[in-house]
Structure 1
Amino acid sequence: MDSNALRVSNFYRIEKILFYLVVITGFFGVALFPLDIGPFKLFPYRILFVLLLPLFVIRLLIKEKLNIFNSSIKWYLIFLIFWLGYSIISLAWTMSKTDAVKDIVFLFMGITLIFFICFYTRNEKDLINIYYLCCVAFVSLICIGIWEVITGKHLSSSLFYTYPPFFIPTGTFYNQNDYATFLALYIPFAIGLIFYSRKLALKIIGVLSIIASVYLIILTHCISGLLAVILEVLALIVLYIIKERKSYWLAILIPAVCIVIVWQYPFIHQYIQQMASVGERINLIRNGIHFLCCTFGFGVGAGNIEYWMVNYPMYDVKVLNIHNWWAEILAEYGIFVFAGYVLFYFDIIYQLIKTYLSTTSCFMKLLCTTLILSLCGFFVACIGPSSFLNITAQWYIFGIALAFLKHITSTEEQNG
């Protein structure tokens, strides 16, 4: 290997290390060695992100010649760029420019994370590495949650940090809903270990992680987190039935689930009423739809939903954040971005299901099962947090899914 090739290889290795550090520190966010420097907080994730960004841009534009846009996932990436561009254009009509800029920065970082993962995850080994990184982070955050439940203490990032001993877990997040959402989205990674790992120790870790995370979700009283886990379990059962061609079980399962729901409806209804301010959330969504109509379907603009809740509500609400990721996208970014996002979301799931049903590879099944379940849980998990945009871990799911779809296509092309 000549000196130039060696130099390029070393540079890429540095970028790859930075990339993995960005991923792992992203799970811990502001909880990991934060520095308060006035208008914002600085912590390892943000520092590493800023260091990696120019290296990524240089390689993407100059060395790789935008090759990522010649891949099978180009339309997904184009939509993400369109979404970001729309958010910037929406500055023209947003009422609160400060809130808009803040949300645009978070959106930019989230979309860039997806690009990082798609760009630096190039083969099966890379996908396995990032999978295990997610598993390590998942187990680590479970341990933090258990520590909180036992001691009543919390990390500095928590809402309860200054409280007297308080035994509701928040992990590395600000509140319990964000933590429950994270756990719900990453339980499928433990399920993947149970079904597809060849090592008994990893299977045991997977089982214990699921038990602990469900227990922690129950302690958070996050109904959307519990519903997400239930949806993931149902999706797992359906995948198994379809894969094994035992469709007659669906004829038993679907009526059985319906009967249980009808039978337990009074209890379910009472539980939901106790656990979440349903009426309040409905009014928040109704206000969001009203705002959408007021802006002729274009949305109130990036980060401006709370401003409109304060100044132009049609229905009375006590809180300002809409508490629903789907409704937030619709109300802030309008019908075009919302329609694109829905297609983006469901088409990824569709492509993963197609691969799951056709593959015999253990590696493919591992990634397909994990990502399908996580994305199914995402459908309801994202209605729990007050602000879903800045939950870094959600962007990883989509990034891994797109990197995996890119890998599938490139593998098929190589094999003819």
Structure 2
Amino acid sequence: MKNLMIHNKEQLLALLVGTSISVAILIGINGSLSSNLAFVFPVALFVGILVCLVYKKKIIDRYGLLTNLLILLIATSFIGAAFLSLNVGFFSLFPYRILFIGIIFYMVLYGFLRNDVSIFLNKVSFKAPLLLLIIWLLYAILSLIWVDSVGSAIKGIVLLGFGIGLVFLMVYMIRSKQAFINVFYIWIFMAVFLIAIGLANHFFQIHLPISRIYLASAYQKMIPTSVFVNENDFASFLSITFFLFLAWFNQTRNLLVKAISIGLMIISLYLILVTSARANLLGIFFGSFIWFVFIARGTQKIKIIVLAFMMLGAGLAAFPEKIEKAIDPIINELSSLNVPADTSGGSVEIRLNLIKNGLYSVKETLGFGVGAGNAERFMENEGVFPTYGDYNVHNWWIETLTNYGFIIFLLYSCLYFSIVYHLYYYWRKARDKNMKMLLEAFFMGMVVFSIASLGPSSIMGLNYHWLLIGLSICLINLNMLSNTESLTRRLRN
């Protein structure tokens, strides 16, 4: 009996992993995985809870209640409504939103009892972006005066409020480099989880009920969507996360970590390719160019060029047909962007006409925009250029311009470029290896977002977008505070 006892944490973890694999095999043998993929979540949750209990002192006892809730909030923000959702009218509740509402309620109550709301802005040096986001939210509420669809506007305002609230939570609650590193690895861990589901989508042709592919025709079943509604949302997430993996690879000397990060980059690129998300594929190429020019060191650039030519030459010499077969899909996807304008109903024509309708809406509303959440309604009822039944804007920049008009679009653009500039500025100054990694990751993430945001039907409800902005602002704020504290110490001495 003694031999059956678990003597240490490693044995318990091995047992948990073995149990999980056994459950997966049994489900696969029974052939019921296609209808029970959502079962993976409670199993994963159960394993996660047990791991947390095993490492209770390191994970739970180390931080306070609010910090643990924030960690859980960030983790659940990636899965959204994929596994558990409760519809309440035009609104839906799922773990992330319930946690978000609970944390906000706690913080407001805390500030009210302290009779000091300013505590939420203590140690915040990068205040301009937060002010801009507040102006954006107030403008969205003001737009209720002129919107055509109040219901759509309220939904848009709620989504905007959740997004901006998440940004404020990141800035307020992440106050140290170590806390930020923890959040970075939560992103990496959750990305691996989402990629695993994407691989299951592709190779086993199984999907979560939230996916549009769940009830799609058999020929579409290989398209991965992971925890998202459609493949463009997933591909956009992957193209941003690709460069977090790259930063992880670039700033570590651990060979195992380098191998894992390279593997994750290759898998991410493959999944983007099979989604046929051209904007995100273009984003990867654009991001790689920016990384090569602005991030890669001189010797690194030479090594990359030499290695690329050597690998390409060796590959073409040894496996010419396989190399051609691997490159063809990429060339085909990119070349498909060059579709003649007179192709009726082609995706490129539809996207161009959506942009034209968006610009037309700005003219018609005298630059004020159609109001929060009303872009899709405008495209459907008042657009002058044909979009053949597709009314989702599929362009975050044009969607923002259409909904909120020229002023908010200009302010948002200033916010975006300010974040990108400051991240690169502090990356150049950083000497700490971990800080260098974080700044590189989120600088590249923000750069790629400019193109990755052209794929999804709408970015507003995608939590990773708000998490990216919130963490970027938070990272800049940490560096500003660090510089201020260093200057203060020098002046005192």
Shared fold per TM-score greater than 0.5: yes
**Alignment partner of 1:376 is 2:447:** yes
Measured in 1, the distance between the counterparts of 2:417 and 2:427 equals: 15
Match of 1:71 in 2: 124
Alignment of 1:246-395 (within 5 A): 268-270=334-336, 272-273=338-339, 277-318=347-388, 319-395=390-466
Residue 110 of structure 1 aligns to which amino acid in structure 2?
G
Alignment of 1:124-143 (within 5 A): 124-143=177-196
Match of 2:202 in 1: 149
Measured in 2, the distance between the counterparts of 1:160 and 1:270 equals: 23
Residue 106 of structure 1 aligns to which amino acid in structure 2?
L
Q: 2:72 aligns with which of 21, 38, 42?
A: 21
Residue 178 of structure 1 aligns to which amino acid in structure 2?
D
Preserved CA contact (<8 Å) 1:223 1:272: no
Measured in 2, the distance between the counterparts of 1:373 and 1:149 equals: 27
Measured in 1, the distance between the counterparts of 2:187 and 2:360 equals: 39
Residue 387 of structure 1 aligns to which amino acid in structure 2?
S
Q: CA deviation at 1:49?
A: 1.1
- CA pair 38-332 structure 1, distance change in 2 beyond 3 A: closer
List gaps (5 residues or longer) in structure 1. 1-9, 250-263
Q: 2:146 aligns with which of 73, 93, 96?
A: 93
For residues 300-351 of structure 1, what are the alpha-carbon distances to aligned partners after superposition, in whole Å with 9 as ceiling and x for unaligned?
Answer: 0001112112221221222111111000111110111000010100011111
Measured in 2, the distance between the counterparts of 1:198 and 1:161 equals: 42
Q: CA deviation at 1:118?
A: 0.7
- CA pair 20-265 structure 1, distance change in 2 beyond 3 A: closer
Preserved CA contact (<8 Å) 2:278 2:334: no
Match of 2:248 in 1: 193
Match of 1:176 in 2: 231
- CA pair 239-42 structure 1, distance change in 2 beyond 3 A: same
Residue 266 of structure 2 aligns to which amino acid in structure 1?
I
- CA pair 376-389 structure 1, distance change in 2 beyond 3 A: same
Measured in 2, the distance between the counterparts of 1:217 and 1:163 equals: 19
Match of 1:3 in 2: none
Preserved CA contact (<8 Å) 2:166 2:466: yes
Measured in 1, the distance between the counterparts of 2:165 and 2:215 equals: 34
Q: 1:396 aligns with which of 452, 467, 475?
A: 467
Residue 132 of structure 1 aligns to which amino acid in structure 2?
Y
- Aligned residue for 1:303, secondary structure, equals coil
- Aligned residue for 1:321, secondary structure, equals coil
RMSD: 2.5
- CA pair 154-266 structure 1, distance change in 2 beyond 3 A: closer
For residues 85-109 of structure 1, what are the alpha-carbon distances to aligned partners after superposition, in whole Å with 9 as ceiling and x for unaligned?
Answer: 0000000000000000001000000
Measured in 1, the distance between the counterparts of 2:259 and 2:268 equals: 14
Normalised to the residue count of structure 2, the TM-score between the two structures is 0.75
Preserved CA contact (<8 Å) 1:359 1:365: yes
Preserved CA contact (<8 Å) 1:223 1:276: no
Q: CA deviation at 1:181?
A: 0.5
Normalised to the residue count of structure 1, the TM-score between the two structures is 0.88
- CA pair 51-208 structure 1, distance change in 2 beyond 3 A: same
Measured in 2, the distance between the counterparts of 1:16 and 1:197 equals: 27
Residue 17 of structure 1 aligns to which amino acid in structure 2?
N
**Alignment partner of 1:208 is 2:263:** yes
Q: 1:121 aligns with which of 159, 164, 174?
A: 174
| Structure number, greater radius of gyration | 2
- Aligned residue for 2:475, secondary structure, equals helix
Q: CA deviation at 1:246?
A: 10
Q: CA deviation at 1:184?
A: 0.7
**Alignment partner of 1:106 is 2:177:** no
Match of 2:108 in 1: 57
Aligned length: 391
Residue 343 of structure 1 aligns to which amino acid in structure 2?
C
Measured in 1, the distance between the counterparts of 2:333 and 2:134 equals: 45
Q: 1:411 aligns with which of 482, 487, 492?
A: 482
Match of 1:227 in 2: 282
- CA pair 307-65 structure 1, distance change in 2 beyond 3 A: same
Match of 2:327 in 1: none
Measured in 2, the distance between the counterparts of 1:203 and 1:154 equals: 30
Residue 18 of structure 1 aligns to which amino acid in structure 2?
L
Measured in 2, the distance between the counterparts of 1:387 and 1:246 equals: 37
- Aligned residue for 1:273, secondary structure, equals coil
For residues 327-382 of structure 1, what are the alpha-carbon distances to aligned partners after superposition, in whole Å with 9 as ceiling and x for unaligned?
Answer: 01111101110000101000111111111112221122101110111111101110
Measured in 1, the distance between the counterparts of 2:471 and 2:370 equals: 31
Measured in 1, the distance between the counterparts of 2:401 and 2:259 equals: 42
- CA pair 236-60 structure 1, distance change in 2 beyond 3 A: farther
Measured in 2, the distance between the counterparts of 1:266 and 1:399 equals: 36
- Aligned residue for 1:99, secondary structure, equals helix
Measured in 1, the distance between the counterparts of 2:300 and 2:248 equals: 24
Q: 1:217 aligns with which of 268, 272, 275?
A: 272
- Aligned residue for 2:81, secondary structure, equals helix
Residue 285 of structure 1 aligns to which amino acid in structure 2?
I
